Structure 1
């Protein structure tokens, strides 16, 4: 399996696989290796790779026992950017010549791997300081979220909304400040967090702020 715009996992180890016909005749021919962590927003490519020295063709990919497609060419199927719902058991199958002499002697072999797609960052929450805002107070609204381990350096952008209207566009600041809060600053606030490319975007629940 290969994923990410700049990361590749080479398949170099054999894992148990299942074949449809002639059980027990020859050892495994499909190679399979667990990928590193996959997070939402990653670009995922599946590769059905067989051992050198055996003719193989007609690769088919499955997710949770449902066919999801065959490569246009070669042995790779590009899934694209994935979300957490892409988690599941992926399987590929190939028809492989098991005789090496008579090409008409072949079996269909399978290899499978469970892939877990983790959240890149948690759903944001609105936090307001001070807890009780009175007219004239300096009000600070924070869009609080947490990046998952091993992705702490991912850049995030934040935007803020009041009553559905944007009050601060996307920027690197996770705070929206009102130097002197007025009654008209009361309303229903939400915030939105996204990656710079917009491949992953999440919005907070609504928080009602009443200026006294």
Structure 2
């Protein structure tokens, strides 16, 4: 603690401090375990923040592409209106239809080009949306992994105070689950989603 402020200790800080004043091997092992879990949790937290930023950026790109597609469709509609007017003028009495036939052909060609551009922007928007959803799901996996490591650190701190062996085991179980979730996130694997998909497919097949 400094002379001009204060510092809030976390479970890891308490574990290290307690171990420093103790001589038993059990406390030392818990302190080392807590330090390792804190490092792993920090890495998971960094990955979670990075994927969240990527998801937001991809969603913004999708919105930009969607706006561009809407602009192209508005332009397409304006050309359609001009084409309709030209076609209507061709049917009026005392009007040379050849005068407007070239305009109709030109508007049709321009509409085709504009439609292709609009569809291209719509496809890009859908692709960015899909990327955003994928990365956002990965962010949730990193967040779960980080939370598991935080819980494991809290359990380690309680274990240090109580010396309960079952809490010691629970610490490793929760920490292992968090690490497994982190590995799944890193490999872009979603075992829960795959399991739910299989169950949903089996339920649909049963009906």
Give the TM-score normalised by structure 2: 0.23
Pair member with larger Rg: 2
Give the TM-score normalised by structure 1: 0.22
Task: Considering fraction of residues, name the structure with more helix.
Answer: 2
RCO higher in structure (CA 8 A, sep ≥6): 2
